Amino acid sequence: MTDLIVHPCTHPLVGSVPVPSDKSIAHRAILLGALCNGKSRIRGSALGEDNRSTLAALGAMGVSFTEEVDGSAAGGTSRTPNDGSAAGGTSRTPNDLLVSGVGLFGLRAPTHDLDCGNSGTTMRLLCGVLAPQPFASTLVGDASLTKRPMMRIVSPLRARGARIKGAAHPTKESEITAPLGIEGLPEGTYLEPIAYDSPVASAQVKSALLLSGLYAHGTTTLREPTLSRDHTERMLLALGVPLRTVGTMVELDPAGWNAMMPPFDITLPGDISAAAFLLAAALVVPGSRVSIRAVGTNRTRTGILDVLRDMGAPLAIEPLGDEAGEPLSNLHINSEERPSLVASRIVAAELVPRAIDEIPVICAIAARARGTTTVRDAGELRVKESDRIEATASLLRAFGVTCETLPDGMQIEGREGPLTPVTTDSLGDHRIAMTAAILALVASGPSRIRNADCIATSFPRFVGTMRALGVRIDVE
């Protein structure tokens, strides 16, 4: 178990750095690459633990892959060793991932349970792929994932004929969680068409239904109250799947389609959720000049940038064009130009789905802004790797920031002057651990973050990247 000791910054942060590949896009590229007919190349695939859970599950169903590392190739389903890379170690980083697709109907029955680790995205997207298969499978996860609700995915899949069972949720009536047992469909039967109005904007619900729709006899139509991230739609359209989108509605009609997807070559953009922590570091440490290279700036993911603009952040966005339908940009923060932020925004409504993963670090930024920041309509945060509303609020209070929790969010009072150094636990949540590290940069002394290995879930080189900008972090 790794602890991080983060020291307060005594000088501005300076540098130009990359961030890990976007894990949301990587999940989908790996999964669709497995279902294509031929070998796909995924470039820039420095995969975190969540993505490797998707890779391992597909490997257990007959999909082979090769990781090219520094010009050499390493095949199989091995995982990157936990040698401290999340804490700034020196393990080699894969350049490309080659996925040998087996076609839409080429997956084979696994011989053991499919372990999704800590990855809710892996479990929920695999539900969409496994529900129409002719074989049975079981999806399991770690202690955190086993507490997370799954009915929002299972219910619409059941409505179209999927046979999925789950364990009763320990605290919520009529809710289920992992392990999920998927019986598969009897020979000669298929999933039915569905028109589903989703009560929440959820890319995981949408993606699971669309993936199941690749196998269904009939149309899959889904409407959301607001538009969630649309990586699945963009990728399916690029692969020639008969998909159409209008506003918050998406429709997949496989009539006349040959049910074949060609292999592809894609360079993954940098993860804006990871970039958010570096933007935050540059904003809370006065005088910093930080650039983050080749970040994905899909409009369904850029809520964090809208929040920062509203706060008066000295943010510049340098467009670099598109990659497989996904826009890329360099992001620049120069806090020499405007050293203070104004907390004048209510983060709510349609903005929340576009910034849901970044809300903990938005709250950390708000802690250093003038005035009160209010977050609403973010109740989904209570069922992430931790209850992120309570975890974030507790963290802020420990650092000496005034914070009030709401049923679906919180209110944060900005504070000037050094924060109180803390010893805190990550609760096994990578975003809480990194948020603590950002707040620690402006404390009056060193802070200790226990159980920090979870950072590898999404940002395997977090400590090394922070050190490159001038942050002092010790690893124990």
In this predicted structure, the answer to whether residue 47 has a pLDDT above a threshold of 90 is no
- Catalytic residue, candidates 22, 50, 271, 357: 357
In this predicted structure, the answer to whether residue 84 has a pLDDT above a threshold of 90 is no
**Mean pLDDT of all residues in 129-135:** 98
| % pLDDT > 90, the chain | 86
Which of 71-75, 140-144, 186-190, 367-371 comes out lowest in average pLDDT?
71-75
Q: Which two tokens stand for residue 226?
A: 């607001």
pLDDT of 227 reads: 93
- Do 190 and 164 contact (CB within 8 A), yes or no? no
In this predicted structure, the answer to whether residue 349 has a pLDDT above a threshold of 90 is no
Task: Compute the mean pLDDT over every residue in the chain, rounded to the nearest whole number.
Answer: 92
pTM (two decimals): 0.89
> Phi/psi of residue 405, each to 5°?
-80, 150
Q: Which two tokens stand for residue 147?
A: 């507490």
pLDDT of 171 reads: 87
- State the DSSP H helix or E strand holding residue 464, giving kind and residue range, or none if neither: helix 462-468
CA atoms of 1 and 456, how far apart (whole Å): 12
Closest-CA residue to 194 (of 142, 152, 250): 250
- Is the preceding omega at residue 179 within 30 degrees of 0, hence cis? yes
In this predicted structure, the answer to whether residue 327 has a pLDDT above a threshold of 70 is yes
Comparing 95 with 171, the larger pLDDT belongs to 171
pLDDT of 78 reads: 37
| % pLDDT > 70, the chain | 94
Cα 143-447-290 angle, rounded to 5 deg? 95
pLDDT of 44 reads: 82
**Domain range list for the chain:** 4-21+269-475
Report pLDDT digits (tens) over 108-123: 999 999 999 999 999 9
In this predicted structure, the answer to whether residue 287 has a pLDDT above a threshold of 60 is yes
**Mean pLDDT of all residues in 194-214:** 97
| Band of residue 402 on the pLDDT scale cut at 50, 70, 90 | very high
CATH code, 4-21+269-475: 3.65.10.10
Which of 44-48, 170-174, 178-182 comes out lowest in average pLDDT?
44-48
Closest-CA residue to 183 (of 206, 201, 157, 203): 157
Concerning whether 357 is annotated as a catalytic residue, the answer is yes
CA atoms of 331 and 339, how far apart (whole Å): 18
pLDDT of 344 reads: 57
Order of strands, sheet of 243-246, starting from the edge strand that comes earlier in the sequence:
194-197, 220-223, 249-252, 243-246
Which of 91-100, 193-202, 256-265, 273-282 comes out lowest in average pLDDT?
91-100
DSSP state of 123: H
Four-residue CA torsion sign, 380, 385, 390, 394: negative
pLDDT of 70 reads: 62
Measured between alpha carbons, how far apart are the two ends of the chain, in Å? 8
Report pLDDT digits (tens) over 413-445: 999 999 999 999 999 999 999 999 999 999 999
Comparing 60 with 347, the larger pLDDT belongs to 60
Q: Which two tokens stand for residue 190?
A: 């298929």
- State the DSSP H helix or E strand holding residue 293, giving kind and residue range, or none if neither: strand 289-296
pLDDT of 325 reads: 81
**Mean pLDDT of all residues in 237-254:** 96
